[in-house]
Amino acid sequence: MLRRALPARPEARRILLGTLLSAIGRGLTLPFLFIYLTDVRGLTDARAGLVIGWFGVVTLALSPVGGTLIDRFGARRVVLPCLLLQAVGTGSLALVNSTLSAFAVSTLIAVGSSALWSGQTTILASLTGDAERQRVFGLQFALLNLGIGIGGVISGAVVDTARPVTFQAIYLLDALSYLVPGVILLSLPQVGHRLAASATTTERRSSAGGYLAVLRDRPFRRLVIFGLILTTCGYAQIEVGFTAYAIRVAEVTPRVVAWALAGNTVMIVLSQLLVIRRMEGRSRTGALAAVGGVFATAWLVLGAAGLTGTGNALVAALGVVACAAIFGFGETMLSPVMPALTNALATDELRGRYNAMSSMIFGVSGIIGPVTAGPLIGAADGKVWVAVVVGGCLTASLVALSLRPLLSSAQDGRSAPVPVREPEPVSC
């Protein structure tokens, strides 16, 4: 399954290797920013929260600019500076000693990250064909989670709030990890150039208009609506809604939450290759609708754990862990389909903008979800929150099904994929 999921072009394989190695560095620091800013650097909880929130706002605000720059100058000229900014910014976190410096560093990192994901997605899409793109995006997601999991295990065994140098070390290592995909991209001089240069005159004219042209694309507009509903009631609830409900309503310990998130990662890594194999030749809109159903099931399981509460701590803990694992299974279906469908709808002239708008979905929902989760969980012992997120996920499923008539069979993935010759093993 791994060999089948690997892209045919060696350049794409090397890009995926960079994804894995940089994800290990990301995993070193991902869970610890709030703890580092408060317990190590002495910021108040409120100021640390503002710093982290500011990062999200700046990233979201600059994402459309990143998409435009990718289409105009090529992803290569955007991704390389972004990786450098990420490396400098992440390394600078080791030197933060005040609220002002934390905001400055957060701004620098946000500028770097604003176009990074859309640029890397555009590069990977340019190196893969329609028949293999869905498999490759699924593999990318699995490698990303594997790397983050490895990094998290390493840092969890090393960091100590009583020894600030341990946090400084992981931020410096994370900074170095951002240079790895940059070095790989520099070693591939023909990769990541402006895609529209190869388009015909007719294609250029039909793709003119920037983001207005993207928004006029009715199928993509429907896909964006689906994504906003699903991520607001799904992904955006993991950091705040899931954790708050598990601890305050289901009354499990933070250690159980940590195990649940680890189970989520394990589910993704173990099942992703099997899922992308089973999805070949099947409807992408059907898969997206199924994701809504799976996410809703995960929240219902968490709701049942809340009803159990302290009456049976073991059952409550198992429910919390099961919720995260079920949610992870849904992620394995969403991760290959969403970018594959986005790039099936995109033209080369506007591919960067399409990918930027797709990534903005997570930014918008990342603001809405946490803001609404707290008040909803505080109402009726969390029952209102469960009802809202379950209903939202099921609504997203209906939106996904309404998208099918707007797509061709090829765009929906129902066409038989073109057989791809098994490539010879290529050294990375």
pLDDT tens column, 110-143 = 999 999 989 999 999 999 988 888 899 999 998 9
**First-last CA distance in the chain:** 19
Spatial distance between the Cα atoms of 98 and 78, rounded to a whole number of angstroms: 30
CB 142 within 8 A of CB 19: no
Q: In the structure encoding, which two tokens stand for residue 189, read together?
A: 């001089």
What tens digit of pLDDT does each residue of 205-246 get? 444 568 899 999 999 999 999 999 999 999 888 877 888 888
* Nearest CA-CA partner of 139 in 19, 311, 301: 19
CB 220 within 8 A of CB 355: no
pLDDT at residue number 415: 67
Spatial distance between the Cα atoms of 175 and 86, rounded to a whole number of angstroms: 7
pLDDT at residue number 397: 97
pLDDT at residue number 38: 87
pLDDT at residue number 329: 96
pLDDT at residue number 130: 84
Q: CB within 8 A of 120, min separation 6: which ones?
A: 15, 19, 75, 79, 181
For the entire predicted model, the pTM comes to 0.83
pLDDT at residue number 426: 41
Spatial distance between the Cα atoms of 351 and 126, rounded to a whole number of angstroms: 9
pLDDT at residue number 196: 60
Q: What is residue 375's DSSP assignment?
A: H
- Tell me the three state secondary structure of residue 159: coil
What tens digit of pLDDT does each residue of 43-64 get? 887 888 788 888 888 988 999 9
pLDDT at residue number 406: 94
Per-residue pLDDT of the chain (428 residues; tens, 9 = 90+): 677 788 889 999 999 999 999 999 998 887 778 788 888 899 887 888 788 888 888 988 999 999 999 999 999 999 999 999 999 999 999 999 899 999 999 999 999 999 998 999 999 999 998 888 889 999 999 899 899 888 888 887 888 878 899 999 999 999 999 999 999 999 999 998 887 655 454 445 444 568 899 999 999 999 999 999 999 999 888 877 888 888 888 888 877 887 888 889 899 989 998 998 888 889 999 999 999 999 999 999 999 998 886 678 889 999 999 999 999 999 999 999 999 999 999 998 899 999 999 999 988 888 888 778 778 877 777 889 999 999 999 999 999 999 999 999 999 988 654 444 444 444 43
* Nearest CA-CA partner of 81 in 111, 59, 123: 111
User: Structural domains in the chain?
Assistant: 1-193 (1.20.1250.20), 215-414 (1.20.1250.20)
